[in-house]
């Protein structure tokens, strides 16, 4: 008979058993569920709501179940529906009558909310630790390449020169924001719902603060209806995971381009590329493509849950059981993507000579040439037009601006002098962008130092 079978005259249809049972996936919450139950039983005993001896027996029983689950010795039953009832059933089988007192003053509704909150808290911390490793890799590449010139792009057209270090530090900003976002996810999840009961609290004199304290929560849910129906914190995790995947995906897109024969900015390590079954010459950036592709499924997990929740009346509805698979999938995808991406990035070889050659060939110093004329007294709008004509000429002649002789340059403006060659060199273009947040090597070093401080001080 089902744990809730008292009111029923017929057994559940076999199709339904299979359809609504969640043990297949929520067994992943065994650790959280059992830990939560240990705290609940401890509090029940302390409050005298159940006999102390029963509370002790329950705690011992739960510990032995946890040990067996972790050793892979427990077979869960489809028939017992979900992790909560599987654990309770096992407990009563092991310790007898006392086991039946565990669920006093509790519902699966506050229980599952608790398990999910514990899972999200752990997963947010875990994500931060992998994001931190990636940020460290970025800092080390940036340090090495604060002076390595590369073209910066807008519209996928070469725009102005930057450095590889500056480019890496852009991603550092993105992933350090991801760390902060995950910290906020942790804080939103850090509210204990136990005591909300099925929806309307409980008549037993629970000590909610004590259970929260035993489980390391910093506060308790302040409305029982919200406490059992709130899944915002799962959405928060899925959103933070989606944004982080989006950042990884943009980075992958760049590495795929840079690794192409057309760019040749980067050489991926053999260990992170794959070959073709037919074309012998191929070395494909599959890993980066796969991360880019997996971003879609994490967005799907977010959209799926938002859609599941949008029409739900308060409070708990079984629809909410659909929160878990997406959450688990997003967590697995995010963590694996961060791991493999970090390993791939740290083994990439950057072909800095090709990068700087590309910067030189792409008129990336055209803005600087205009600025040069401005510094000699011309109005910017006029200088823009002069350099525009100059570039058009160079395009036709297949030359870079500084390939022209001073005499040729002077046919576009009398203001050009010998010093233009130095003023518009790639090195000067980068060094002169000496503004907070700019690519001048000294500024990049400042950002790197700020990044190091951020990582050293950041805790969840
Ligand atoms: N397996 C359920 C879930 O994941 C647990 C809560 C069930 N509560 C209920 N009243 N049926 O949401």
CATH code for position 49: 1.10.275.10
Ligand 1: residue whose CA is nearest its atom 4:
321
Q: Tell me what the mean pLDDT of segment 321-327 comes to.
A: 98
Residues 270 and 322 in one domain: yes
d(CA 437, CA 444): 7
Read off the pLDDT of residues 173-219 as tens digits, 9 standing for 90 and up.
999 999 999 999 999 999 999 999 999 999 999 999 999 999 999 99
How many domains in the chain? 3
65 pLDDT band, cuts 50/70/90, is very high
342 pLDDT band, cuts 50/70/90, is very high
Read off the pLDDT of residues 352-404 as tens digits, 9 standing for 90 and up.
999 999 999 989 999 999 999 999 999 999 999 999 999 999 999 999 999 99
Residues in the chain: 460
Q: Among the three residues 104, 137, 163, which one is the final residue of a domain in this structure?
A: 104
Residue 456 located in a structural domain: no
Residues 331 and 405 in one domain: no
Q: What is the dihedral of CA 386, 388, 390, 396, to 10 degrees?
A: -150
d(CA 348, CA 266): 7
Residues 61 and 153 in one domain: no
Read off the pLDDT of residues 85-143 as tens digits, 9 standing for 90 and up.
999 999 999 999 999 999 999 999 999 999 999 999 999 999 999 999 999 999 999 99
Q: Tell me what the mean pLDDT of segment 317-322 comes to.
A: 97
Mean pLDDT, the chain, as a whole number?
Answer: 97
Residue 454 located in a structural domain: no
User: Cα of 6 to ligand 1 centre, how many Å?
Assistant: 18
Range of the domain at 83: 5-104
d(CA 413, CA 386): 7
Give just the sign of the alpha carbon dihedral 183, 187, 188, 190.
Answer: positive
User: Cα of 69 to ligand 1 centre, how many Å?
Assistant: 21
Read off the pLDDT of residues 13-22 as tens digits, 9 standing for 90 and up.
888 888 999 9
Q: How far is Cα of residue 51 from the mean position of the Cα atoms in its chain?
A: 45
Rg value, the chain, Cα: 30
User: Cα of 330 to ligand 1 centre, how many Å?
Assistant: 21
Read off the pLDDT of residues 258-288 as tens digits, 9 standing for 90 and up.
999 999 999 999 999 988 888 888 889 999 9
CATH number of the domain at 298, please: 1.20.200.10
User: ∠ at Cα 154 (153, 157), nearest 5°?
Assistant: 65
Ligand 1: residue whose CA is nearest its atom 12:
321
Nearest to 89 by CA among 147, 2, 165: 2
Residue 58 located in a structural domain: yes
Q: Are strands 219-220 and 266-267 parallel, antiparallel or unpaired?
A: unpaired
Give residue ranges with CB within 6 A of ligand 1: 22, 26, 82, 108-109, 112, 316, 318, 320-321
CB 66 within 8 A of CB 149: no
CB 165 within 8 A of CB 152: no
Q: What is the pTM of this model?
A: 0.95
* Shortest-distance atom of ligand 1 to CA 324: 4
d(CA 2, CA 11): 9
User: Cα of 218 to ligand 1 centre, how many Å?
Assistant: 25
Within the chain, how many helices (H) and strands (E) appear? 19, 6
Ligand 1: residue whose CA is nearest its atom 7:
108
Q: Ligand 1 pocket check: which of 20, 312, 318 to mutate, most ligand atoms within 8 Å of Cβ?
A: 318
Q: Among the three residues 319, 353, 387, which one is the final residue of a domain in this structure?
A: 353
d(CA 179, CA 458): 9
* Shortest-distance atom of ligand 1 to CA 82: 1
DSSP 8-state secondary structure symbol assigned to residue 245: H
Residues with a known catalytic role = 155, 276
Ligand 1: residue whose CA is nearest its atom 3:
321
User: Cα of 132 to ligand 1 centre, how many Å?
Assistant: 35
Residue 430 located in a structural domain: yes
The pLDDT assigned to 218 comes to 98
């Amino acid at each position: 008979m089902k744990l809730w079978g008292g009111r029923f005259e017929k057994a559940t249809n076999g199709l339904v058993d299979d359809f609504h049972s969640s043990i297949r996936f929520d067994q992943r919450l065994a650790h959280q569920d059992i830990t939560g139950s240990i705290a609940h039983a401890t509090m029940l005993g302390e409050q005298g709501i159940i006999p102390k001896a029963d509370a002790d027996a329950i705690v011992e029983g739960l510990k032995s179940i946890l040990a067996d689950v972790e050793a892979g010795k427990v077979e869960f039953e489809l028939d017992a529906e979900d992790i909560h009832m599987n654990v309770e059933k096992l407990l009563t089988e092991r310790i007898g009558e006392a086991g039946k007192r565990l669920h006093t003053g509790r519902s699966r509704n506050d229980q599952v909310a608790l398990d999910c909150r514990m899972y999200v808290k752990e997963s947010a911390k875990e994500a931060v630790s992998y994001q931190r490793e990636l940020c460290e890799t970025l800092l080390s590449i940036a340090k090495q390449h604060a002076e390595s010139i590369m073209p910066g792009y807008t519209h996928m057209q070469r725009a102005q020169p930057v450095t590889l270090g500056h480019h890496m530090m852009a991603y550092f900003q993105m992933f350090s924001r991801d760390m902060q976002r995950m910290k906020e996810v942790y804080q939103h999840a850090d509210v204990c719902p136990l005591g909300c009961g099925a929806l309307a609290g409980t008549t037993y004199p629970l000590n909610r603060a004590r259970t929260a304290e035993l489980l390391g929560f910093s506060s308790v849910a302040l409305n029982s209806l919200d406490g059992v129906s709130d899944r915002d914190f799962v959405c928060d995790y899925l959103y933070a995971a989606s944004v982080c995947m989006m950042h990884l995906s943009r980075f992958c897109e760049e590495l795929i381009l840079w690794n192409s024969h057309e760019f040749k900015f980067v050489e991926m390590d053999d260990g992170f590329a794959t070959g073709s079954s037919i074309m012998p010459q191929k070395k494909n950036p599959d890993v980066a493509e796969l991360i880019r592709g997996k971003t879609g499924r994490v967005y799907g997990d977010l959209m799926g849950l938002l859609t599941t929740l949008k029409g739900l009346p308060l409070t708990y509805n079984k629809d909410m059981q659909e929160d878990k698979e997406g959450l688990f999938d997003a967590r697995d995808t995010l963590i694996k993507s961060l791991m493999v991406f970090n390993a791939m990035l740290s083994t990439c070889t950057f072909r800095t000579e090709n990068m700087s050659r590309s910067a030189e060939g792409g008129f990336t110093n055209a803005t600087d040439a205009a600025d040069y004329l401005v510094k000699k007294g011309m109005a910017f709008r006029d200088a823009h037009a002069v350099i525009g004509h100059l570039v058009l000429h160079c395009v036709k002649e297949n030359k870079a601006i500084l390939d022209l002789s001073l005499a040729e340059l002077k046919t576009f403006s009398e203001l050009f002098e010998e010093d233009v060659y130095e003023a518009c060199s790639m090195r000067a273009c980068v060094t002169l962008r000496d503004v907070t947040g700019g690519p001048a090597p000294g500024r990049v070093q400042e950002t790197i130092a700020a990044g190091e401080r951020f990582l050293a001080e950041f805790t969840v």
